[in-house]
Each structure stands twice: as structure tokens, then as C-alpha cells.
Structure 1
Amino acid sequence: MVGLVLASAVPAFAQDNSFNSSVNMSPLPGLPQAMPFSGATGGAGGLRAMPGMSQVPVLNPNGPPAAPDAPGRDPHTVLPQPPSGKAAIGVSARFGADGAVIPRGLVWRVFADKPEASGAYPLVAEAVDPSPVFFLSPGGYVVHVAYGLASAAQRIIVGASSRREQLVLDAGAMKLQADVNDKLIPAQKISFDLFEGSFLQGKPSSRPYFRGIGSGEVLILPSGNYHVVATYGDGNAVIQADLSVQDGKLTDATIHQRAAEITLKLVSQAGTTPLGDTQWSILSPGGDSIKEAGGSTPAFVLAEGGYIAIARHDGKTYSKEFDVEAGKDQSVELTLTANEGLPQQPSGDSSGDGGGSDSGGQD
């Protein structure tokens, strides 16, 4: 069961419970420090990487805030005296054409603008300062800056005179969480996949832009429209939402799930120890398979709706219909005495011998 929703990233929709997601926007410069990915992955609020990506900064939401800079202000008031035969090139970056200077979390690299015989462009200098000064010999260069998954590059010609260069980064950030009935879902039970484009406008990418974003992590992204798929547990509790990232702003979104955690038990009689060596299937009312598992007490997260539980034990089949309500976790208990053990039926037919009337307890 998939819920399709629209969550527009504008302040007017913040905390609007008529949508299946709540969105708030805040300026990025006031957020805590972003640090470049250095090879190790972290948990919620830590650093995350994807294969092939060497720099994936995210923001730590628990760190101290930083004061925003004035829009467009160049941090290089005075450039240092360069060594003989070189020029001082002071670089900085800002959010969008008219945004504030980015105060931290930048990774700078300077390449020669002509390739070597191998075809590679030589790396001349690099820095992780927000506004470094490079001492460069006269010639052509390409200055590249990365901020999370956003980046920009600019070709420059260096002569005898020192000067300043400011690059424009179209970048913002996104923070994702999910709840059920206004109660946050633990980070280990929810994950988010991010796609470029809009699902509602029929323009989503078929390949994830970033997979497995943790709850509460802040991911720095190029500005634009994104499609989020939020998966609660490993069942069918999946919600989709369209979000946007704006220059210099954090899109803080909470996805509202409509699901609950269900534990299945097959017992000889009510209240007794669950029987082991049991194979389970969860079916929709129409007979479509939702989930399968083995064991005495398997647990699933299921979207709100009606289901049929099928238990196969000792060559016999037992069944029970049950309903899932959002946020109401429950145990669904099947008893041998209420269902005398139908011959095993691959179709999962639940119509025989009162299978639908077996009453399960709730935790």
C-alpha cells in the first residue's frame, strides 16, 4: 500500500496536518558546522557516503550555531602578500546569485586548465577552509568548490596581480523524519530514498540520487525538486512526497506514516507459548501476498488496512483476518483450537472452519 502526497517546501505549509508531511524552512548559514566526509560512515546526524562519492558533508543538528554572513559580502578584506612570482587568489562562495556567503563546510580544489599526457588535469592546490587564499603562478586554472552534493567550478586566468574570486553555489539542505500519530518513528525503523524530479509532475528519476538517508540527518543538496520515498520497517508502509530545496535554506520535513507494528503468534490455546517451526504469510483481502516469514513470533510493519494472516504448522494451515490502525501496535494470535487445522492450501484460502472469527489479543 503506497500513499502519494504532495509536501510543498514553502513556509505556508509548515506543520499543516492536512498533508502527509510537514515542512519547515530555515536559513542554512545559521546551522551548525558541516564537515567533509573522510571515509567513515556515521549514524543519525553523522556522516553518510555513497560509493564513488569522496565528499559528502552533512550537518550536525546538535552542534553550536554559526552567525550568518551578510548577503554577498566578500570575506577577504585584505589579501596577504604572495611569494615572489605568484599572485594571491582569495576565494569564497555564496548561496545563489544574491545569497549569503557560505561560512563553512566547503572543499576547494584548484586544477591546471590543461591536461597532462595521461588526460588528467593536475591538482595544484586544495583546502577545506571556507575562504582560503591560494598562491598561484601565472597561468590558467579551474577552481572547483564542493558543498555536500552541490558543487561549482570556474576557470580563471592568473596574472601578476592578486585578486578575489567568489563562486555561486545553488545549494540548500534537507532534513527528513517520520512520525505516526505525531509520535516520531525511531531512526533505526525508518529510511528515506531520494530521487531527482517530481513524482506528481511525472518527472522523477528512475535511479535514486541518494539511498538510505537516516532520520534526522541533514544532507546538503543542489537546489531543485526532489521526490522522497519513506519506508517504515520492511513491510508495505511506504509514503512518497515531493519536496524542494532552495538556495541557502534547510527543508525540514516530517513524513506522516499511517501504519503499525504487528506481531504474529500461533498458539495451542489463548495465552500459551507461541509454537515454533511456523511459516507465515500476510495477504491482502484480495489474496495478494504482502509479506512472508518464519518463526514463532515474526513482527512486521504494515500500512493501515485489512489483512489475512496465514500460519502453516505441522502440515496444517490456520488463518485469521485482522485490521491495522495507524499507531496501534498489536499482537495477532491464531489458536489451534479455534481452527482445527485445514489441509495446507497454497492459495491461502481463509474461508474454512471459522478462521476469520479467531480473536487475537492486543499488547
Structure 2
Amino acid sequence: MAQSAPIPSFLDRSLRGFEDHPSGAYASPSAIPGGGLVPTPDAVGVPRTGPLKTLNPIALPEGFGKIPVPNITVPGLPAYAPQPVPQLLEQPRRALALEARLVEDGQAVPSGVVWRLFSPIPGSDGKLPLVATATGGAVTLDVAPGSYILHAAYGRAGITKRINFTGLRTRELVVLECGGLKLNAVLADHEPVPADKLLFDVYTAAANERDRQMIATGVTPGQTLRLNAGTYQVVSHYGSDNAVVRADIRVEAGKLTEATVEHHAAQLTFKLVREEGGEAIADTAWSVSTPSGDVIRESVGAFPSMILAEGDYVVVARNKDHVYQREFEVVSSANTDVEVMTSDALGAPGAEEGSGD
């Protein structure tokens, strides 16, 4: 078989000068600038040419080298095509069994688990579509095979995991790693704090107070909270004033943690009287503050009652145009009456004569 001869070196060097020549015109071999060069042995078959001063292109037939492009009509497409409903939801449904445990080697949770199954593809609102939900211990969901986001909530404990459901009857085990927390409080003399005056708030642990997140509020004594294992800050409120105790408590997975905090406080009843043990004067406005002037509570009435933390305080009573003041001390667990005498009046002498009635 005949083989094509290689391009002579001088011809190759000449052709490089036309790389930028506009397409659509063809130059004959006789127009290649030779510059009077003498052919070398590798230029056999190439005629000797003389130097040329001009390049005369050969005209080509009209339309030569142009490929006709047919007119194609393409329907307009919107700038954004919303994601269609996943095909997983359109497939035949299969049984997916779900089971939860507090710890890996623990018993199955018998009830109280809220199961939610989401599609991993966000909807048009940016949220994950809810595929199925159920409440109980071990449950079975009829869903199409595919990938899902599973969330299991047990009280205030919860866990989220991605699962791949093959369509076969399988059991998905979820380990919650949570425990229980039960709270109570006593006074310094170990007497229990009245349950109707005691509430708890539970927060996450954090290095800074502003970074804490509230987990539960208004928790009553003896109530069991289900929480993820970890450390929490518990705030105990005895009454609605300043009798507040804070404590860090750790919850262990699979266990019930019972914690009791101790309050150093007492319940006091205030009265404005003309003499010790006398009848309380009505329509009196009260203000209780610390010795530094921080107001703890203000109230109006003949017998205002407050629960205050142990310490020193100042009480001010106002009746009509007269003001009365007294310092007092709160002793833990010592519930008592605090009487403000009209002889404790501030201002002009004899102010007590116009008080009362």
C-alpha cells in the first residue's frame, strides 16, 4: 500500500505563516512563498518555485464549506423548575418497622415515642416534607423504598438519623441515649417546700448565661422529664419573689435522676399597725428592697405576703400622705409577720395620728 510522503520541512515552515489567514479562501501550491529556496532531498516531487510578491487566492463556489443549520423550535423553559414529588412516594409501599431504646443494650421503649419520617428533598417552602408519623413504642410504617430522615422524640429527648429503606421488611433500631429527671426542694430544716409554691425551669449547660437554651419551664415537683443524656442547669423558684436556687445536674442515659435542692427562705406577712399586735390598716402600699436599694417586690393591701430569700431587707409602707419604714431580717424557714408601727413614720412628728381609718 502506498504511503503518503511527509510534509517537507520548508513547506511546513511556510504554512505556519498562514495560520491567521481568514477562512473561506484556498491558496494554490504555486502561491506558496519559496523565497528562491532550493529543494532538499526530503522535498522530492515538489516543483521548484520562484519567489512571489503577492498571494492570489482561488475563488471557491458560493456556499462552499458552509453547513446549513436547520431551524429548530425549542419550547420556552421557566427559569426554575420546582422539584417534582420524589418518585419514592409513588412506588409501592412496604412495611418499615421502628423500635426505640434508651441505651444500646436496654429494653425497647414500650410507649410514648413520637415517630416522624421526612423526605430528604426539601419542598417548595424549603422544608422537608413529612411522609409519615406514628406514636407508640415499636411501630410499623408503610412507605416506599428509599432514603429518609427519621426523627424520634421521647418527651424532651430526641434523635435524628438518616435511613435507607430497601423495601424489604426490616427493623430500624433507634438508640435515644436519654434518661429521666425528677426534681424537688426542701427548706433548710429539711421540711419540704409547699408544692403549690414551687416550680422549676431547666436549661442547657453553657459557659455563658446568654448561650443557655430553655428546655422546660414551669416543671412541678415530682414531675419526670425525659431528657437527652448530659448536664443541665436547674432553676428552682420558691414563690414569685427572690427565693431562687440554681444547680447543675447531670442526667445519665437509661437512668432516672432524682435531685432535691435546698432553699434558704421564709414566707412573711406585712402589716401596718398603730400598736404591736394591733389591727392592720387597710389601703397601704408596700415596697420591699435590699439595703442597697434594689426593689424586690411592691404590693398594695392590708396583709401582703411575700416569700423572700434569707437576708436583710427594708420595708416601706405608704398610707395616705404618710410614709413608714422599717428594717427587718429574714431567717430561713422562719415564717412570720412583719409589723410596721405608725411610730416608724418618716416626716413630721405625729404623722401616725393621721393614718389609719
User: Which TM class, normalised by the smaller chain length?
Assistant: 0.5 to 0.7
Which one has the bigger strand percentage? 1
Structure 2 residue aligned with 1:223: 229
From 185, 193, 197, the equivalent of 1:185 is 193
SS in 1 for 2:247: strand
- Distance in 2 between the 1:115 and 1:284 partners? 56
Structure 2 residue aligned with 1:262: 268
Q: Is the 8 A contact 1:196 1:204 kept in 2?
A: no
Superposed CA offset, 1:185-232 (max 9, x none): 22321221221115xx65773443322222222111121111111121
Structure 2 residue aligned with 1:113: 120
Q: Relative to structure 1, is the Cα distance of residues 189 and 160 closer, same or farther in structure 2, using a 3 angstrom cutoff? A: closer
Percent identical among aligned pairs is: 37
Structure 1 residue aligned with 2:49: none
Structure 1 residue aligned with 2:311: 305
Residue correspondences, number: 259
- Distance in 2 between the 1:144 and 1:334 partners? 60
Q: CA deviation at 1:164?
A: 1.2
Superposed CA offset, 1:76-123 (max 9, x none): xxxxxxxx9543222111123444322221011222333344444333
Q: Which amino acid aligns with 1:343?
A: G
Q: Relative to structure 1, is the Cα distance of residues 294 and 186 closer, same or farther in structure 2, using a 3 angstrom cutoff? A: same
Superposed CA offset, 1:215-264 (max 9, x none): 22211112111111112112211111001111122221111100000000
Please say if 1:89 is aligned against 2:91.
no
From 200, 203, 208, the equivalent of 1:195 is 203
Please say if 1:245 is aligned against 2:215.
no
From 165, 170, 193, the equivalent of 2:177 is 170
From 273, 283, 295, the equivalent of 1:289 is 295
Q: Highest relative contact order (Cα 8 Å, sep 6+), 1 or 2?
A: 1
Q: Relative to structure 1, is the Cα distance of residues 205 and 118 closer, same or farther in structure 2, using a 3 angstrom cutoff? A: closer
SS in 2 for 1:188: helix
Output the aligned Cα RMSD.
2.5
- Distance in 2 between the 1:160 and 1:321 partners? 76
SS in 2 for 1:183: coil
> What 5-or-longer segments of structure 1 have no aligned partner?
1-83, 345-351, 354-363
From 242, 262, 273, the equivalent of 1:236 is 242
Q: Is the 8 A contact 2:146 2:167 kept in 1?
A: no
From 274, 283, 291, the equivalent of 2:280 is 274
Please say if 1:156 is aligned against 2:163.
yes
Q: Relative to structure 1, is the Cα distance of residues 140 and 294 closer, same or farther in structure 2, using a 3 angstrom cutoff? A: same
Q: Relative to structure 1, is the Cα distance of residues 162 and 307 closer, same or farther in structure 2, using a 3 angstrom cutoff? A: same
- Distance in 1 between the 2:160 and 2:297 partners? 48
Correspondences of 1:27-106 after superposition (within 5 Å): 85-106=92-113
Q: Relative to structure 1, is the Cα distance of residues 252 and 120 closer, same or farther in structure 2, using a 3 angstrom cutoff? A: same
Q: Is the 8 A contact 1:172 1:247 kept in 2?
A: yes
Q: CA deviation at 1:281?
A: 1.9
Q: Is the 8 A contact 1:100 1:248 kept in 2?
A: no
Runs of 4 or more, structure 1, over 4 Å off, are 201-204
- Distance in 2 between the 1:93 and 1:275 partners? 63
TM-score, length of structure 2 as denominator length:
0.66
Structure 1 residue aligned with 2:30: none
TM-score, length of structure 1 as denominator length:
0.65
Please say if 1:320 is aligned against 2:333.
no
Q: Relative to structure 1, is the Cα distance of residues 236 and 86 closer, same or farther in structure 2, using a 3 angstrom cutoff? A: closer
Q: Which amino acid aligns with 1:225?
A: T
Q: Is the 8 A contact 2:110 2:137 kept in 1?
A: yes
- Distance in 1 between the 2:103 and 2:211 partners? 24
Q: CA deviation at 1:134?
A: 2.0
SS in 1 for 2:278: coil
SS in 2 for 1:144: strand
Q: Relative to structure 1, is the Cα distance of residues 203 and 320 closer, same or farther in structure 2, using a 3 angstrom cutoff? A: closer
Superposed CA offset, 1:115-168 (max 9, x none): 344444333322112001223322222222111122222322233421111012
Q: Relative to structure 1, is the Cα distance of residues 291 and 122 closer, same or farther in structure 2, using a 3 angstrom cutoff? A: closer
Q: Is the 8 A contact 1:150 1:169 kept in 2?
A: yes
